[in-house]
Chain A
């Protein structure tokens, strides 16, 4: 992974490169950004750059021995720490066993989220991903070795928020005063869950989420047509892991569904609302949640439009005209109520409420309140 392969984030890249050029690399850096952002990719690229034998002014060369090893993540001086599905048994090297999978996982594309990783290694239902104390100890012992061939030993550390209390505390001393030529690159998406004692030992590199344009661009590279890419960008809010998940979903027409639903609610066509609820019930759970997600997004746009903040709307074509027409018709107070209803509904849906009943209930509330 080279810096140039990562979309956007030019400021961060420049700062990281400058830190190496000025010989000002802190030994522990916390790449802190949202889920599905560029954190791990940037850490990877940074590690490549640091150990590159022929550093270019604005990127690693990508050709030297170190870079080609880094491309496959098999550099002997780079250690990986990532969440395991369970605590390893006595004498078991679970981390070692899973490392090849981890490499393959990142090589697919580096913008990943924890659930994906757990699915990738076939973790069973209630395995949440943990970093046990054994891994902390192994860090300490691995770092007591000298670097094999590169200049730095690099510890690439993903999801430190999953460290349990013992493991996190066991890291404190080594994190504060590691042996010479050691770099901790810690990639976190929920830094507020880390111990303050860990945060205070690291330099925080803030990473923003991807913009809509960057997501669209990324999806276009993956060969997805523009309209669909824009739609996904609208839904995923800069989370590329989510964007990739959405591309694998079958193309569906949420907007048509939503528009139909709202029209029927507005015209108080109860007979077809009941039919619609039956139809809703037959959709898969993910799809049902998808519709609710979309509804919330669109309600937000309605809300913005009604409050006269049109420049914030990110919609186009038919969706925009829908919002404009619907926004005129619907009662502003109802929007707020419905948002609450749907948020609650989402919660209940996740906890296995009967979709048919839930949907009809929301529809009826909508029909009752919409016209004010």
Chain B
């Protein structure tokens, strides 16, 4: 083993601003600052891992100390300062690892050093890497120096976690936010390096690496090295990259989705088994599957197709499959899969957990078909579309909203869904609680599932509003006389209605009681404050109902809270004393004369 192998990320670390990949907005700014001599005393470089923070800090340090800058503001690489820097021997550039030297003493040392001007060159530069790990005492000790350092000192702070840095530090620095590097740039960069290393590459393989790197060039280069290591003939091929990087080929997901759409459960289970056999993690598989569904969802609409970040061939495949997968299937599958993802870690038999999830997905098409069937049977004009385009949620609502007697087959299906489709089923559950106790006449609410008011114009909303109008319009011009019997009857009717609609027990207790009726005013005697609140809540409904039924606008309702008739028992020592003293006033004298206090 002659010379050391150095990983590409280090070997090809850029040494001039020009060679930095994908951060032109930062390099141009820095170059301009150097050219016009507008250098700030402190910089903060932040951004995700592997995008060039440390690299840029070093280039900046090298450039501002270079004695003979080139035309386009790049270091010459030949002068004394540059050579010293390249040999890691520059006295003017100090690189500190803030993560292992994070105490306040380390910063004090640094501040002490800053006091001495540079012996050669114009500037003394301090690169403080991983600066987010400084303790807060260290940060604070640093503040004064950072704000007003000697003219020759420049600080460059670099970190991945900007949010951990004190605002007082942030306000003293010029902040440069580094971007994630675009996959295309990464792929291009690797291609160049591969050429220099004499390695043959496939463009698709490089794109795959770039995608997997998620914007970090160092990640990409690490992966590239790995693939070169693993290849037998110095060639990086797509197939091998998939294997080495442990990426699941999207073909699996295409096959899986096809099987799911066909409702072929055993096929999907076999695919899953194949994936696991290859050593892939079940959780990653689930996440990948969700991503695949997302991609299909995105490709359904021509406006969003551009959100696909895949190669051209893959894009066509997605477009092709997305025509076959219905929107409702994708949405429901996403929700089933999301649930599976959430509970994955907690599950004891994780493999089985995923398999059950797959089973639910495989049955989705069947369920959706039934939904459409049921909807068609009802001959609802709005539902027309079936599984082709209407999301499941609205299809359900149409069924529910049609009429209260629609509780045949379709409702059972909905119940079955409730367990398997958490998110789509959720709204159906919430509606029952929401409007309760509002001013709306509750008598109709059972049959009007008005979730879809904002989504579609199903008949439901009109049904909700109708009774209100009736309540207003139906009030007669002339008031009819009201008899006690009629009133009692209507009252009892109202009470029954509330009970059927799931009114609270305490409400029933409040309603089912005798009342007085004088001068068109109902007088109700309540037991406690709680009943009063209840009554106030339903009062508008109740009165509206009574006035309408009895054809009389004059009816009023008043109430009062009954005084507790039972005598209050003395509990506290003071109360007991008072009771006793009332019976025997001499006790007061006794207390007063001896200055006694109540305490027993």
Contact = CB atoms under 8 A, between A and B. Distances in A.
Given A202-B222, A339-B352, 14 more contacts: A18-B229, A23-B1, A24-B228, A26-B225, A137-B100, A170-B99, A173-B99, A203-B7, A203-B226, A203-B229, A205-B226, A207-B279, A307-B359, A347-B348
B183 interface: no
Interface stretch (B249-257, B266-274, B302-310, B501-509): B266-274
Interface string B217-254: 01100110110111010000000000011100000000
Interface string A173-217: 110110011000000000000001101111111111100000000
Interface residues of A, number: 57
B341 interface: no
Interface stretch (A108-116, A262-270, A308-316, A359-367): A308-316
Given A19-B229, A169-B130, A200-B219, A140 B100 contact: yes
Contacts of A202: 222
B367 interface: no
A138 B496 CA distance: 79
A75 interface: no
B50 interface: yes
Nearest to A311: B270
B532 interface: no
A27 B7 contact: yes
Contact of B270 (A180, A312, A339, A343): A312
Contacts of B349: 296-297, 300, 339, 343
A53 to B, nearest CB: 12
A132 to B, nearest CB: 13
Contacts of A19: 229-230
Contacts of A224: none
A183 to B, nearest CB: 11
Contacts of B332: none
Nearest to A310: B266
B227 to A, nearest CB: 10
B261 to A, nearest CB: 17
A204 B218 CA distance: 13
Interface string A135-173: 011001000000000010000000000000010011111
B97 interface: yes
Contacts of B228: 24
Place the interface of chain B in its size category.
Answer: 35 or more
A166 B102 contact: yes
Interface string B1-23: 11111110110000000000000
B216 interface: yes
Interface in B346-366: 346-349, 351-352, 355-356, 359
B17 to A, nearest CB: 21
A343 B347 contact: yes
Contacts of B346: 347
B266 A203 contact: no
A299 interface: yes
A54 to B, nearest CB: 14
A20 B1 contact: yes
B207 interface: no
Interface in A1-38: 15, 18-20, 22-27
Interface of B: 1-7, 9-10, 48-50, 97, 99-100, 102, 129-130, 132-133, 160, 216, 218-219, 222-223, 225-226, 228-230, 232, 244-246, 265-266, 269-270, 273, 278-279, 346-349, 351-352, 355-356, 359
Interface of A: 15, 18-20, 22-27, 136-137, 140, 151, 166, 169-174, 176-177, 180-181, 196-197, 199-209, 292-293, 296-297, 299-300, 303-304, 307-309, 311-312, 336, 339, 342-343, 346-347
B229 A24 contact: yes
A225 to B, nearest CB: 27
Contacts of B279: 206-209
A-B pairs, 4 with minimum CB distance? A208-B279, A169-B99, A170-B100, A173-B97
B341 to A, nearest CB: 13
B419 to A, nearest CB: 9
Contacts of B129: 172-173
Given A18-B230, A26-B5, A170-B97, A307 B352 contact: no
A197 B160 contact: yes
Given A169-B130, A307-B269, A309-B266, A206 B99 contact: no
Contact of B5 (A25, A199, A292, A296): A25
Contacts of A196: 48-49, 216
Given A22-B229, A169-B99, A173-B100, A296 B352 contact: yes
A286 B49 CA distance: 44
Contacts of A312: 269-270, 273
A276 B295 CA distance: 52
A196 B180 CA distance: 14
Nearest to A342: B348
A339 B266 CA distance: 19
In terms of DSSP, what is the predominant structure of the interface of chain A? helix
A244 B569 CA distance: 72
A117 B132 CA distance: 33
A346 B348 contact: yes
B343 to A, nearest CB: 9
A86 B258 CA distance: 52
B130 A200 contact: no
Contact of B222 (A15, A24, A26): A26
Contacts of B49: 196-197, 200
A315 B325 CA distance: 36
A303 B355 CA distance: 9
A307 B266 CA distance: 6
Contacts of B245: 204
A172 B216 contact: no
Contacts of A303: 352, 355-356, 359
Contacts of A176: 9-10
Which of A197, A205, A208 counts the most chain B CB atoms within 10 A? A197
Contact of B50 (A23, A166, A200): A200
A49 to B, nearest CB: 12
A151 B1 CA distance: 9
B269 A304 contact: yes
A297 B229 CA distance: 39
B344 to A, nearest CB: 12
A304 B354 CA distance: 12
B451 to A, nearest CB: 28
Contacts of B352: 296, 299-300, 303, 339
Contacts of B265: 307-309
A201 B223 CA distance: 10
A184 B136 CA distance: 31
Nearest to A203: B226
A207 B160 CA distance: 29
Contacts of A300: 349, 351-352, 355
B99 A172 contact: yes
Contacts of B10: 176-177
Given A169-B99, A203-B229, A307-B265, A23 B2 contact: yes
Centre residue among B219, B269, B278, B348 by max chain A CB count within 10 A: B348
A290 to B, nearest CB: 12
A176 B130 CA distance: 12
Contacts of A27: 6-7
B226 A204 contact: yes
Given A23-B5, A25-B5, A296 B348 contact: yes
Nearest to B222: A203
27 contacts: A15-B230, A18-B230, A26-B7, A26-B222, A26-B229, A140-B100, A151-B1, A166-B102, A169-B132, A172-B129, A173-B99, A177-B10, A180-B4, A196-B49, A197-B160, A200-B222, A201-B9, A201-B218, A202-B222, A203-B225, A204-B226, A204-B245, A206-B244, A206-B279, A296-B349, A303-B356, A343-B348
